[in-house]
Amino acid sequence: MRDSLRHAVAEFIGTFALVFVGSGALIAARTTANIGLVEIALAHGLILAAIVTATMRFSGHLNPAVTIGFVVTRRIAPLLAGIFIVAQLLAAMSAAYVLKSVYPDAAFMAARGGGQYVSEGVTSGQAYLLEGIATFLLMFVVFGTAADPKAPKVGGLAIGFTVAADILAIGPLTGASMNPARSFGPAVASGFYEGHLIYWVGPIIGAIAAALLYDTLFLRSAPEPADHGVIDPAGARSNVPTRKA
């Protein structure tokens, strides 16, 4: 019970920080000309690099798509994954409502609560593809720097870099969510759900594809490092020892 609680709290704090900073940067960009795409990308990348490093001993997912990728590769039990996802969604909504309470209503609604939307001229198919590819790259880096026991000890730095780079690449097109919770919280707080399915389906498919590829081709049932928290619970893999944070 204690393990589940600390994992859930870590996921809540981490996801709250991501949405609070990321959405806050997007809303601020609507109110000042001094904040542009580079600053928005840096805001997301910097907070992720810091908060993933701070939480990765216990969880460090902060993203339902990432959690689902770990479920598919049997590196987290479905029940624990469900706890992760609930914590992520609650945190995203909480952060969005905090921002709604402090920003002027006009600024908050103009920025759709700091959420994402598909730009004109981008088709739904293109949006699904872009979000899928961006999340594939993110998940590949997650596995290559966190799940792989031989990964370089760089904390969440590479993950933050990847998110910032993805935002620079496709931010003007889809908002570069790569994270269903990141889009869900602002959507609930603002009431804008247009194209919302894209920010669930695209990232989840991309994350699953990257997780399966890395797990099958590079890991080959390697055990999870002890300092990355419970990722392979008892019974998930009979030939891999379970480790707890």
Residue 73 lies in a domain: yes
Please state the length of the chain. 245
Specify the amino acid at residue 195.
G
SS3 state at 208 = helix
For the full predicted model, state whether its pTM sits above 0.85. yes
The pLDDT tens digits for 89-130 are 999 999 999 999 999 999 999 999 999 999 999 999 999 999
Residue 244 lies in a domain: no
pLDDT (tens, 9 = 90+) of the chain, 245 residues, equals 567 899 999 999 999 999 999 999 999 998 887 899 999 999 999 999 999 999 998 888 999 999 999 999 999 999 999 999 999 999 999 999 999 999 999 999 999 999 999 999 999 999 999 999 999 999 999 999 988 988 888 989 999 999 999 999 999 999 999 999 999 999 999 999 999 999 999 999 999 999 999 999 998 655 555 555 544 444 444 444 444 43
In sequence order, the 6+-apart residues with CB closer than 8 A to the CB of 145 are 151, 152, 154, 158, 159
Residue 84 lies in a domain: yes
Task: Work out the widest C-alpha separation in the chain, in whole angstroms.
Answer: 56
- What is the spatial distance between Cα 208 and Cα 210, in angstroms, rounded to a whole number? 6
Residue 233 lies in a domain: no
Give the residue numbers spanning the domain of 40: 2-224
Q: Considering only CA atoms, which of 105, 92, 76, 70 is closest in space to residue 210?
A: 70
Report pLDDT for 133. Answer: 98
In sequence order, the 6+-apart residues with CB closer than 8 A to the CB of 95 are 15, 16, 17, 18, 19, 20, 23, 185
Q: Do residues 223 and 232 make contact, with C-beta atoms less than 8 angstroms apart?
A: yes
- Beta carbons within 10 angstroms of residue 152's beta carbon: 10
Q: Give 26-34 contacts, CB < 8 A, sequence gap 24+.
A: 26/111, 26/114, 26/115, 27/99, 27/103, 27/107, 27/108, 27/111, 27/113, 27/114, 29/111, 30/107, 30/110, 30/111, 31/107
Residue 220 lies in a domain: yes
- Domain count for the chain: 1
Residue 241 lies in a domain: no
- What is the spatial distance between Cα 97 and Cα 221, in angstroms, rounded to a whole number? 41
- What is the spatial distance between Cα 244 and Cα 77, in angstroms, rounded to a whole number? 13
The domain that contains 165 carries what CATH number?
Answer: 1.20.1080.10
Residue 242 lies in a domain: no
Residue 229 lies in a domain: no
- What is the spatial distance between Cα 95 and Cα 89, in angstroms, rounded to a whole number? 10
User: C-alpha distances in angstroms, 202 versus 143, 177, 186, 223, 245?
Assistant: 19, 10, 18, 29, 31
